[in-house]
Amino acid sequence: MKYSFKGALPSYLKTIAIPLFEDRTYWAGLREEFTEKVIDAFIEDNTLQVVEDEDVADLVLYGTIVRLEERKSAITAGEVVRETQIWLTVQVKCINKHTEKPLWQETIQQFGTIEGAGTLEEKNTVIQEITEIIVRDIVDKTISAW
């Protein structure tokens, strides 16, 4: 059995504008990359047409990358880090421009794990992975009108 969220939006909601997300983490390039992934995910989903102009959009998706945090989650008796969690927190609000009320708004948090303290490359890989999960969640919440 296959479930689909398509068609859950009111029929008058056809377009979405996605301004550049704000970023409080100052991780180089994160806001641009995150925003681009959100736009690409909506284009791929094809339920809503992505438009640049907020004034002509039916929905506007605003987001703030609130926190990118490393947590040492497993430390040996000798004070050696065995595992590090990378947490990403994003606040998202999707506004229905016809009513000027939120279709939905939520703070979304996700984490990934790195063995040891991790290299910069490993951290970037985990950030990419958790970004994909959060982006999928944003699209699902929007097209299902949660």
**CATH code: domain of residue 35:** 3.30.160.150
Q: What is the pLDDT of residues 12-57, one digit of tens each?
A: 999 999 999 999 998 889 999 999 999 999 999 999 999 999 999 9
Length of the chain: 146
Dihedral-angle region of residue 77 (phi above 0 means left; psi in -120 to 50 means alpha; beta otherwise): alpha
Average pLDDT rounded to a whole number, residues 58-76? 90
Number of domains in the chain: 1
Distance CA 15, CA 2 (A): 26
Q: 5 lies in a domain?
A: no
Q: What is the pLDDT of residues 75-91, one digit of tens each?
A: 777 777 788 999 999 99
Q: 6 lies in a domain?
A: no
Domain that holds residue 20: 15-143
What does the pLDDT read at residue 45?
Answer: 97
Q: Cβ distance 141 to 104 under 8 Å?
A: yes
Q: Which residue has the higher pLDDT, 131 or 1?
A: 131
Rg (CA), the chain: 17
Give Cα 64 distance to the centre of its chain. 9
Q: 47 lies in a domain?
A: yes
- Backbone CA torsion sign across 11, 15, 18, 19: negative
What does the pLDDT read at residue 119?
Answer: 87
Q: 4 lies in a domain?
A: no
Confidence of residue 126 (pLDDT cuts 50, 70, 90): very high
Q: Cβ distance 18 to 39 under 8 Å?
A: yes
Whole-structure pTM value: 0.88
